[in-house]
Structures are given as C-alpha cells and as structure tokens.
Amino acid sequence: MEALNGVRILDMTHVQAGPTCSQLLAWMGADVIKFEPPQGDATRGQLRDVPNADSLYFTMLNCNKRSITVNMKSAEGKTVFVDLLKKCDIVMENFGPGVLDRLGFTWEKIHQLNPKIVMGSIKGFGSTGPYADFKAYENVAQAMGGAMSTTGVPDGPPFVTGAQIGDSGTGLHLAIGLLAALHQANRTGQGQYVEVAMMDGVMNLCRVKFRDHQRLTHGDLSEYSVPTYKGMGEVPRAGNDSGGGQLGNAIHCKPHGANDWLYIVVQEAVWDALAKRIGPDVGIPELSTDSRFAKIGERRKNQQLMWTLINKFAEKYTKREFMEILNPLDVPCGPIMSTEDLANDEHIRGREMWVELDHPQRGKWWNVGMPIKLSSSPAVITRSPTLGEHTEEILKDVLGYGEEQISRLKSAGAFSAPPKKAA
C-alpha cells in the first residue's frame, strides 16, 4: 500500500513551489486534485518547446495528479470548491497576499467548513511583517534569504545557485509541515494553518553561513581561503571552498572544458596517502612530510599553494581518471556533473532518478524521479494531467454528482471562463 493512500489534497498551487510539494505527496500515494482556473496553471504555456503541448515546466512538476477546472468567479464554481473542501484532508495555495480572502475564503472560513482540514500556504515573505505584501520569485528569495551574498567568487558579484532553493526548497519545507499537521489532525480532529515563506526557507538552507556569521564574532575562519577577521560582520563569498571543517575545492582537469572539474575534500586522515601519490609528479617527493602541509592547521594557512599543486597534478587526467586515482586513497571526491552527464549516468538510471514518460500531447519525455525511497511503497510515476482532464471523474467519484447536476453546472459556467463581451 502507498504511504499516503487515502489522503486527498486539493491543490490550488501553481508555478513551482507548491506543485513541487504536491507532486512529492502524490508520489507517496496521496490523491492530489489539481484545482485550476479555466485557463489553467500559467506554466502550462510557459517556455513551451512543443507546439500546442503542455510545457516541460508544467509536466515535470505535476505528475500523478488529477486536474479539474473550476471558475471560482462564479457562484456555482464556489459551490464546487466548498464541496471539495469538505472531502479533502489538505488544501494548498500559493496565491498572492489576500487573493483567497477576496474570494470569500479566509482560513477561518475554510476551517469552519471543514474543521479537520489542514491548509498549506506558501508566501514570498509570510503573512506578517513589513515585507508581507512584497512579491517574490526564486532569485528574489535567494537574494533576501542570505544565499546570494555568500555565493560566488570573493571579488565578483553575488551569484544565484542553479538549484531552485527558493521555490522547490520551499515546497519541501511545506511538505514536512503538512505531514506534521495532518498527523496532529488525525489525533485531535482539528486541522491547522501551515505557512512557509520562501525567504524563511532559503534562510534555513543557509544555516551553516549563519554558523560562520557568529564564529566571526570570536575570531577568523581558518578554513576559508579568503581573508577573514574577528568582527568582520558579514560572511564573505569564498568561491568553491568547502565551508566545513575539512578543506575542499574544485580541481580543473583535462581537457579543461566548462565542466571538466573534480571536487575533492582533503581530510586529515587522507593527506599522507594523497601527498605521497601526487608529490613525486609535482616535483616534491617529500610532500607528505613537508612542514607547510603536514598538519591541517598548516594546510589551512597554505591552502592556495596546496590547491596549486593538486591542480598541477590533475592537468594530465580527465575528471573520471583523477577520480579513479583518488577513490582507492579514500579521498572524498566527485566530478562536476552536467545535466548531460546526469541524463546518461548509469547510477542515476539505476536509482530511477531519470524516468521516461509518455504524454498525449508531447510524446516521450523525461522527468527527474522520486528522491525519497520508501522500501515498502516505492513511487510509481505517471504523467501530468491535461487541463481539466479529470473534471467529470472528480465530480462523480469524489463529490457524487449526477449527470443532470453536472450538466446544469456546466451550463452555468462553473467549469469554464465566461464568454468575452463584445467590444
């Protein structure tokens, strides 16, 4: 049996943050009803690569869901919404501040309609505080949550990370909150409001940088390759430094292309074997006993020279060849893997993290798989729904509506946009 079998979710979210959360819950077995306006989730048409087909932006975030279209601007559409609320365990939204309230559905009203329902809400900056009404997007959240100021090279501009920590990261946080609230609702009979702000989620993912921020009040950060000092204040950008107790960095390998790099971590326990292996090749056969590198404190002081020597050794090898040299020495390392590398990687395919699917509009395509592996209920990934594909199915199976009632609601415009007025 699937882990969340029997849990029904009314998913009003759109774009990335919310759909990330609801897709994970759907992969764990929840019945996720994607509740869309008649025009559909905006991402269905964004960055479209196949004419007249849902975009990859949409399909990659909405697998295993059922789609119903409802016109919430009509009284009949609101009735359908209310009936669905009473049949669901969770309702999710990531509208701008006040949107649902203006439709007449505050959290207090929703809780009154279904006291046990859990409501999940994603906001850019939360519903309280001076930033509450600001708009947020992925990179805005990264900027304001601390990620950008600590990412990049020391003397260069701040960088965003390619990982979607503002959107998808917030979706992961929401999933945790919803499951906790659902567990409590099942014990107490009372649901609650679960809010995750994108800025808050990014800040949580930057926790180690706030560790270093406080360490700077007591002294310098010896593991950083850039200068630091007591009372410095803000944590500096430090390129590819590991940011941990052990020294780490990316080493450029042949043929020295954009992604021909190997990231290595030089632990105290592996230095002797590493130094004995590379020392003769870089003209320092006694490297393992060289006083500049023998102890981790000295390696920290002289890490720029250490990285120069390791880079010199790596010039003769590809990233995979260098990895094969380091693995027997127990040196933690990993090649910088491009999207092309990962899409064709044997390990990734074996773990079902790159999954082929078929879609009625776009044909064969690939999706990133389920990262959470449950031994007794592995995820079975199915395609995303076409717009409104399950409207009648949901009305009949979930709400018990008959054909006559459905026909009447259709005629009243409950599931479609009102006709445009003539100019």
pLDDT at 418: 72
pLDDT at 136: 93
pLDDT at 406: 97
Per-residue pLDDT of the chain (423 residues; tens, 9 = 90+): 899 999 999 999 999 999 999 999 999 999 999 999 999 999 999 999 999 999 999 999 999 999 999 999 999 999 999 999 999 999 999 998 889 999 999 999 999 999 999 999 999 999 999 999 999 999 999 999 999 999 999 889 999 999 999 999 999 999 999 999 999 999 999 999 999 999 999 999 999 999 999 999 999 998 898 999 999 999 999 999 987 778 999 999 999 999 999 999 999 999 999 999 999 999 999 999 999 999 999 999 999 999 999 999 999 999 999 999 999 999 999 999 999 999 999 999 999 999 999 999 999 999 999 999 999 999 999 999 999 999 999 999 999 999 999 999 999 999 998 766 655
pLDDT at 390: 98
pLDDT at 7: 98
Q: What is the pTM of this model?
A: 0.94
Cα separation of 178 and 196, whole Å?
Answer: 10
Residues near 400 by beta carbon (within 8 Å), at least 6 away in sequence: none
Cα separation of 76 and 412, whole Å?
Answer: 7
Amino acid at 195: E
Positive or negative, the CA dihedral 121, 124, 128, 132 is negative
Cα separation of 178 and 195, whole Å?
Answer: 9
Chain-centroid distance, C-alpha 137: 13
Reduce the DSSP state of residue 234 to 3 states and report it: coil
pLDDT at 355: 98
- CA-based nearest residue to 385, from 19, 78, 2, 6: 19
Query: Burial level of 356, CB count in 10 A (0-12/13-18/19+)?
Result: exposed
pLDDT at 153: 93
The set of catalytic residues is 167
Q: Which long-range contacts (CB under 8 A, 24 or more apart) does 21-25 make?
A: 21/92, 21/120, 21/122, 21/171, 21/172, 21/174, 21/175, 21/178, 22/65, 22/92, 23/61, 23/62, 23/63, 23/64, 23/65, 24/171, 24/172, 24/175, 24/370, 24/372, 25/90, 25/175, 25/178, 25/179
Neighbours of 289 (CB within 10 A): 12
φ, ψ dihedrals at 284, nearest 5°: -130, 75
φ, ψ dihedrals at 305, nearest 5°: -70, -40
The DSSP secondary-structure symbol of 103 reads T
pLDDT at 341: 96
Cα separation of 249 and 272, whole Å?
Answer: 18
φ, ψ dihedrals at 348, nearest 5°: -65, -45
